[in-house]
C-alpha cells in the first residue's frame, strides 16, 4: 500500500498519486452507491438539500449537489474514511496516524462548473501543522470532465489571502491569486486511484466540458496526528480506529499572505486578513 517513493514525492511536490489503491470494482460500487443515494432525494444529516423539480434551473450542480460529512450518518462512508489502505499511506507520508475530520462526495455532472484555486487548510485551519486530503476518483478523470489541477510545490507557501472568483467557472466565490507563470498541472486519474495532497497545496478544477461524462470523486480530509486544533465544522475528529479524539476549536480568523514583487521576484508577504469556515474540494 505505502511505497517509500510516495514520501519523497509528497515532500517535494506536495502531493502523490497512489495508483489503484482501490480496485475498479470498489470504485464502481461506491460510485453507484452515492449516485443512487443522491438521486433518491434528501438524506437526513446532509446539509445540501436536493431541490424540488420545479426549483431545478440550468445549473447541473443543483440536480447533483455535493454531499458532506456522510461518515456521521452513513456506515459505508465511515468505513472508507478510516480504511486501512488510506491510513497506511497517510501514516507513511505524515510520520504518524492522522485524525479524520471530513468526508465529501462530488458528482460534477456534464456542464458543471469547477472549483477555483484554493488551499484546504484555509478552511480546516489545523494547528499545529496542516491537513491532508485523500481524493479518490470513482471514475476516470481528465481535463475534459474537470480533473483536479495542482500547483506543484505550493505546499511550501503560507495560507494565501483570497480574492473574488469567476462564478462562470467556479461554484465557490473566492480563489487564491498565484504569480504569473505559475504552472498549474492536471492530475489525470483512473477509477480507484487516490491523490494525497498537503493542506497548503494550491489546487482546483475547471468545468466539466464533456457531453455525457460525470466526474464523481470521494474525498476524505485529515489533520496531522499531533494537531491540537481544527475549525468547528470539522469536529468531532476521529482516530483511524473510529474513536473520537477531542481537539480544540480554531479561531475564526487567521493571518494570510499576499504575493508582492521583491526586486522583480514574487515573494509572499504575510498580512492580517480574516478567513472563514467553508467546505472544500
Domain residue limits, the chain = 4-270
pTM of full prediction above 0.85:
yes
DSSP secondary structure code for residue 82 in this structure = T
CA distances from 260 to 121, 151, 160, 237 (A): 22, 18, 12, 37
Q: Report whether 86 contacts 134 (CB < 8 A).
A: yes
What DSSP character marks residue 54?
G
Identify which of 146, 154, 147, 279 has the alpha carbon closest to the alpha carbon of residue 221.
279
Distance between CA 150 and CA 153 in Å, rounded? 9
Give the pLDDT score at 281: 56
Q: Report pLDDT for 274.
A: 57
- Would you mind telling me the total number of residues written for the chain in this entry? 281
Instruction: Report d(CA 248, CA 229) in Å as an integer.
Output: 5
CA distances from 269 to 130, 158, 190, 259, 272 (A): 19, 9, 38, 6, 10
Please provide the distance, in angstroms rounded to a whole number, between the alpha carbons at the two ends of the chain: 24
Per-residue pLDDT tens, the chain, 281 aa: give them: 899 999 999 999 999 999 999 999 999 999 999 999 999 887 777 776 666 655 566 788 888 999 999 999 999 999 999 999 999 999 999 999 999 999 999 999 999 999 999 999 999 999 999 999 999 999 999 999 999 999 999 999 999 999 999 999 999 999 999 988 899 999 999 999 999 999 999 999 999 999 999 999 999 999 999 999 999 999 999 999 999 999 999 976 667 877 777 777 777 777 765 555 555 55
CATH of 4-270, one of 2.60.120.620, 3.30.70.2860, 2.40.50.140, 3.40.50.620: 2.60.120.620
Give the torsion through C-alpha atoms of 69, 71, 72, 76, to 10 deg: 140
Peptide bond before residue 128 is cis, with ω within 30 degrees of 0: yes
Cell numbers describing residue 73 = 450518518
Amino acid at each position: 500500500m505505502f511505497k517509500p517513493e510516495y514520501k519523497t514525492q509528497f515532500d517535494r511536490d506536495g502531493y502523490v498519486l497512489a495508483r489503484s489503491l482501490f480496485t475498479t470494482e470498489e470504485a464502481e460500487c461506491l460510485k453507484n452507491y452515492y449516485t443512487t443515494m443522491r438521486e433518491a432525494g434528501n438524506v437526513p444529516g446532509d446539509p445540501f438539500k436536493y431541490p424540488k423539480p420545479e426549483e431545478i434551473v440550468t445549473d447541473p450542480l443543483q440536480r447533483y449537489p455535493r454531499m458532506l460529512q456522510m461518515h456521521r450518518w452513513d456506515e459505508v462512508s465511515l468505513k472508507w474514511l478510516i480504511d486501512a489502505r488510506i491510513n497506511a499511506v497517510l501514516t507513511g507520508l505524515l510520520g504518524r496516524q492522522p485524525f479524520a475530520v471530513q468526508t465529501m462526495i462530488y458528482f460534477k455532472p456534464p456542464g458543471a462548473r469547477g472549483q477555483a484555486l484554493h488551499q484546504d487548510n484555509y478552511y480546516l485551519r489545523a494547528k499545529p501543522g496542516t491537513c491532508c486530503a485523500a481524493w479518490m476518483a470513482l471514475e476516470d478523470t481528465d481535463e475534459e470532465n474537470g480533473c483536479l489541477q495542482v500547483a506543484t510545490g505550493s505546499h511550501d507557501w503560507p495560507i494565501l489571502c483570497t480574492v473574488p472568483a469567476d462564478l462562470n467557472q467556479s461554484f465557490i466565490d473566492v480563489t487564491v491569486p498565484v504569480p504569473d507563470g505559475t504552472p498549474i498541472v492536471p492530475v489525470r486519474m483512473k477509477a480507484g486511484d487516490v491523490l494525497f495532497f498537503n493542506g497548503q497545496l494550491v489546487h482546483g478544477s475547471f468545468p466539466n466540458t464533456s457531453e455525457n461524462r460525470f466526474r464523481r470523486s470521494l474525498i476524505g480530509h485529515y489533520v496531522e496526528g499531533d494537531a491540537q486544533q481544527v475549525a468547528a465544522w470539522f469536529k468531532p475528529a476521529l482516530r483511524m480506529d473510529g474513536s473520537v479524539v477531542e481537539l480544540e476549536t480554531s479561531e475564526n480568523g487567521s493571518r494570510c499572505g499576499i504575493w508582492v514583487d521583491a526586486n522583480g521576484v514574487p515573494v509572499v508577504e504575510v498580512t492580517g486578513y480574516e478567513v472563514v469556515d467553508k467546505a472544500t474540494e
